[in-house]
Amino acid sequence: MISLALLVLFFAGLLFAACHDVATMTIPNWVSVAFVLVFPLAGVAVGLTPAQIGLHLLAGLIGFAVCIGLFALGVFGGGDAKLLPAVLVWMGPAAWLPYIYGIALTGGLLAVLLLISRRFVPETVVPGFLQRSFVKGPGIPYAVAIGLGAIWAMFRSPVLSSLIQGTGFVY
């Protein structure tokens, strides 16, 4: 039961961040903080040792340093620079590469779709809450790509794959 609750929290957080980013081009700080604070409970729930939990946190810290650099260069927004490493904590060292690959792949596709949308879709057919992302720009609601990258890599993550197994779902 705890596995299912943790998975629901994880994916609800990703979904909330993506939807909020699409609507407002911002990601609330509490979402990233919640990912990091809930992770040790998930790590204990799946049987990680304190050292393994520490390695996951270290992966997130390294990711945070890289993302802050990308933010300083104007590549990422501030919310993206916090959300990506917060989710990276859940991915850990074993899944960082597929996670980043999934983000890059889906982020590139998202960028192309937004460029097409901003150029060819009339503003009048886009609902008001999507205007900021799909019509006006600039920027990309990258929480969508961060969430899809996490889904792409979830079976490589020892924590997420163990939580999924703990629910009884077969994959």
Give pLDDT, residue 170: 60
Give pLDDT, residue 76: 87
Report the chain (171 residues): mean pLDDT per 10 consecutive residues: 91 97 93 98 95 97 97 92 98 96 95 85 76 72 96 95 80 55
Shortest CA distance to 147 belongs to which of 87, 73, 90, 67? 87
17 touches 83 (CB < 8 A) = yes
Give pLDDT, residue 121: 79
CB burial of residue 30 (10 Å; 0-12, 13-18, 19+) = exposed
